[in-house]
Every structure is written in structure tokens, then in C-alpha cells.
A and B are shown apart, each in its own frame.
Chain A
Amino acid sequence: MSVEFSRSTGDWLQTKASQVRTQLQFIAEDRPAFVSLVVLASFLFLGVFGPVIAPHEPIRYSVLSANGVIMRLHPPTLAAPLGTTAYGKDVLSQFLAGARPTLIVGLFGGIATGGIGFLVGLVSGYYGGWVDEVLMRLTDLTFSLPFMPMALLLLTFIRPNIWIITLIIAAFLWKMPARVVRSEVLSIRERTFVKSARASGASDFRTMFGHVAPNVLPIGFLYTAYGVAWSIAAQASLAFLGFGDPTTTSWGRMLRQLFASGSIRVAWWWVLPPALGIAAVTTSVFLIGRAYEEIINPEINDHQ
């Protein structure tokens, strides 16, 4: 009995592993998705090691010329390979250090967005009735409270730090995965294996997490990935408007200082690193998501 059990578990693992392999192969064949995967890997590397390999302290250190004068708005040189800011700071160091807050907000914001949305969608779709009604009206409410204005409003009163920002993002963005997961659950709920699980006496909890959840997990992952991109975009936008964490350097904050100092006309070396960083990461997530969407959802439903 136990031998049989472990054999079937082994088989299960093997089929799962080969499924994962097929999906990775699929992504590797989609040229844009493959390039995106490489971009994301480098971003992950920057987020983890960026602050460590940054040659200087990003905020306090000022680049000095040979005769000891602070170099302001200087194009790339040996001393500052990506030039300096209007305040004489090293752009390369700010770029490297700025990857981490971007990564943290993106990762945690995305996971929270996907996680909450997944749970709400699962419970709402599985139970239906008044539970569904209440939860769906709640998502309608977060849809009708506009994200950007509400976030700005809250952040004028609460001193922004990356955790508060992550929290606000998750509080407003879980509605997207919730709706999509719910509609998937609605169709899976009616399938035979779910009905027979319930008929054989499995509890609601068990049916929901053991039988329904695994089948909507791919959609949950997909929207978690999208959540990462939304969080990064939202964090950068808030920082650009001056509602970022004032104690750390982030790519959004770099762009704010650039814009506010009026140096955008000349300092291309200051614009490009953070701008391309954000654009590359968010675009990559979406391109991978799109390729992935075609595997898990061959009929390609609309985005409602």
C-alpha cells in the first residue's frame, strides 16, 4: 500500500516536472519572452547584489574632481562611469542601489496582490450566494476608489516608506486577480471531479483547497506576475510625484530629482539608467505573462 502510494507520488512528481519543462520550453521558443526572462534574471541579480557592488554610498558620497571640487552634472568619466547628478552624486551607485527598493516593492506587492486576490476569488467563486455577493461588492468598491488619488491622499498623511507603499498597492490592486480567479472557479466548480469529491463527503475546505485551488493556480501565478509589474510601476510613479521613501534611492526617485532639478534637457546619462531599468522590467513581466497566458488559456479569454 505504502509502496504503491509512493510510486504514484513519484509518477505525479514526474508528470509535474515534465509539465514545468514543457512550459519553460514554450517560453524559450517565444523570442520576446525569452529575452524578457534574461532581463528579469539580471534585475533580480541587481536587486540582491546591486547595493553591495555599488562603488559609493548613493546619497552621501559626492564625486570630486582632481582639484577637490564637487562634479555636478558631469557626463560619464572614469571616476563616475555613468556621470553625476545635479547634486554631484554618482549615477552608477544610485542606479545599483536603487534596484533594491524597486525589487522589494515589486516582489512583495505582487505576491500580496496575487495572494489576496486568489483567496478572495477562490472563496467567492466556491461558495457563491451571499459570500460571493459581499466579496464582489467589496471588489467593486476598490474598483471605484481610484488608486492613484487615494494613494496620494493616504501618503500625504502617512510618512511614506517602502512597506507602507507595498501595503497601499496590495490594498487597491487585489481586485484584478480576484475577478479573474473567481470566474475560473465558477467553471471548475461544476466539473465532475469536484462534484464527486463533495458527494464522497469531503469538507468544503478540503474540496476548495485540494481540488479546486490546484486548477486555478496557474491563473493565480500569472496575476501575481502582473501584480509585480503593477507594483513596480505604481511605486515608481508615486516616487516620481514625490511620495516615495525619502530615506532611500529608488529608480523612481532618481527620475523625480532629475525632473525637479530641470536637468532633463542635458543629462541623458542620468535619465537613461533608471528609465530603461523600470521600462525593461515591467515590459518583461508582461511579455512573459502574455506568452504564459497562451499556454494556460488556449482560448484566450478577454481580460475582464
Chain B
Amino acid sequence: MSEFQRFLAKRIGISVLLTLVAVSVIFFTLRLLPGSPFTQLVASGNLTEQQVREIMQLYGLNRPLSEQYLAYLRNLLTFQFGYSIRQSRPVWEILGPKLLNTLVLLIPALVCTAILSTLLGMVAGWNRGSWLETGSIVTTTFFRSTPVFISALGFIIVFAYTFNLVPAFGMRDITVTPNGVGAYFSIDFLHHYILPFTVAMLYYSGDFLLLARNGIVERKGSAFLKLHRAKGLSETEQLWRAGRNSLLPVLTYFALRLGMVFQGLILLEVVFGWPGIGRQLVTSIAQQDYPVVQAAVFLMALAVIIMNLVADVLSAYFDPTVSMGGGN
């Protein structure tokens, strides 16, 4: 085994272990804290004791904790999420479409902003001290540090309520019945899409901009650029050479952000009424719908673990000077 293969094997092993631990933490948090999804129903008089017992049996909640735990592990790791308590349909039937809606919104936003703000950051770093540098840093820092629901509210007030340009809520007009892929390629959808997309893009822009800008600033005075200058390369060509060498942090950061896409913008979805997985999680928590909550949190954790692994492997592969010991 080469050193890189050993490193890879160790990282994958750690990721699998982390998944197990994360899954267990979620399970025990839900079980050990007081309250169950049925106490509320019983208290409101909607269910009799007998019915509760039957339901508990149906969901396996009357079996010993250890048995429940093993069944739960087996099910999650084979992506069988069970049935929703409130909607009595398979959890995946509920979460699948929501997950798709989240990805349709956030992945294009992330990709666009990664490209645009990296380019802008490179130009800003190249022109140190210019108004462009200060302006772009202050603007993107504002959107990155302000909680996303506040910028979202601001955009809604200006563009939806004041200028009446776009709808403030939802993914499509209530009269529209979506069918198949076409549902994502209509003018109506685009109309609803543009505002949350813009806010998400602005929210993500700050880190990419700073990473790219810092990379350029760091390399601007370096020897190899002096060489390029001596060879008579134009400013743009020099910037391009310097940029290429500072793209690794941007790339690994992109992977980490991608992992957080599932959980990242719960508040954005809530404010815009976007029917994504984050908004579904908030609803399911309020309804104490355990199976849905479990599955949603599991998917969010899994995405982070996988993308962390990818980021580590990327930086080890492209920059072997980074130690491959994993922890040393």
C-alpha cells in the first residue's frame, strides 16, 4: 500500500466510525429526553391507551432499547427510514422530494457564487487598497455574518412587497400543478426561484471571496511571479498564474460547503416558504415526528461526513506537503 492509500483507508475508517457515533447520538438524544410523540396525542384526547399501545407495537417502541437501537442502525444504514408517524407514509416519500427542492435551490447558488466571488476575490486581492477591494470585502462580509433570515427579510420587503417584482413565498404559484421535470423549468418557477437563489448566493459569497483574495495577496510578492513579470506576461496573465496556485483552499472549502448544503439554510427555507428538507425538519420537530426527524438529521450529518472526507482527500492529493498522518 502506498502512503496515499494508507491515508485514504484511515480516513474512510474514521468517517464510517463517525457516522456510527453521530447516528447513535441522534438516537439517544431522541429517546432519552422526556416526551414522546404520543403523549401529546393522548393528552389532547385523540387516542385511547389501547390505540397508543398498538401504535407503540407497530413502531417497535415497546421493545427493549438495545433491540430498537440495533434495528434502527440496520435500517438507517440501508436507507430504510420507516414510516412517518403523522403522515403514515414512508419517510422517504416525504423527504425525497424535499431534498430535491433543497438541492435545486442551493447547489446552483453555491456553484455560481464559488465561481463569481472567487474571480472577484482574485481581482480584489490583485488591486490591494482599491475601493473595489474594500467595497467587496465589506459587502460580502455583511452577507456572510448577518443571519441569513435577516437578509432574506430585507430582500422580500424590497423586491416582493415594495416593487412587487417577484412573489415572496413558496416555490410555485398555488394554481400551478407540477408535472415531472417540467415543474422546474417554467417561468413561474423561475419567478419564485430568483429571490432565494440570490440571497443564498450572497450568503455564501464572503468566504470564497476572502479565500481567493488572501491567496492572491499572499502570492503577489512571490519569486515565481517576479519571474513571470520578467518574462513579460501581462497583468491578467500574471493574475491567472497566481490564481491557479491559490485555488486549492477554495476547492476544499467548496467541498465542505457542499456537505453543509443540506443543513445550511434552514432559515432561508423557512422565510421564503421553500418546501425543502430544512423547512420539513422544523415542521417535523414541532410535530415530534421522530422517524422523519431522525432521517433528516441523519442525511444532514452523512452529507457533512462524506464531504469532509472528500475535502481531506482533495487537499492531501493536490498538496502532498500537507501531512497525511491525519492527526499529526
Interface on A for B, CB 8 Å cutoff?
31-32, 128, 132-133, 136-137, 140-141, 143-150, 152-154, 156-158, 229, 233, 236-237, 240-241, 255, 259, 264-265, 268, 271, 275, 278-279, 282-283, 285-287, 290, 299-304
Contact = CB atoms under 8 A, between A and B. Distances in A.
A233 to B, nearest CB: 4
Interface in B155-173: 156-157, 161
Interface of B: 14, 17-19, 21-22, 25-26, 29-30, 33-35, 134, 137-138, 141-142, 144-151, 153-154, 156-157, 161, 207, 210-211, 214-215, 217-218, 249, 252-253, 260, 262-263, 266-267, 270-271, 278, 281-282, 285-286, 288, 293, 296-297, 300-301, 304-305, 308, 327-328
Contacts of B154: 275
B300 A146 contact: yes
Given A137-B14, A152-B285, A259-B153, A300 B217 contact: yes
A255 B328 contact: no
Contacts, number: 147
B282 A241 contact: yes
B309 to A, nearest CB: 10
Contacts of A279: 142, 146, 150-151
Contact of B305 (A144, A148, A278): A144
B35 A157 contact: yes
Contact of B304 (A146, A233, A237): A146
Contacts of B304: 143-144, 146
A236 B144 CA distance: 15
Given A136-B327, A148-B266, A154-B29, 11 more contacts: A32-B134, A140-B308, A143-B308, A144-B18, A144-B305, A147-B263, A148-B278, A153-B26, A275-B150, A278-B146, A304-B249
Nearest to A130: B327
Pick the 10 closest A-B CB pairs, nearest first. A302-B249, A157-B33, A146-B263, A300-B214, A279-B146, A282-B145, A286-B145, A146-B300, A233-B147, A144-B305
A279 B148 CA distance: 10
Given A144-B22, A275-B153, A153 B285 contact: yes
Given A145-B22, A304-B249, A133 B288 contact: no
B18 A302 contact: no
Chain B CB count within 10 A is highest, among A140, A141, A302, A303, for A302
Given A144-B308, A145-B25, A240 B267 contact: yes
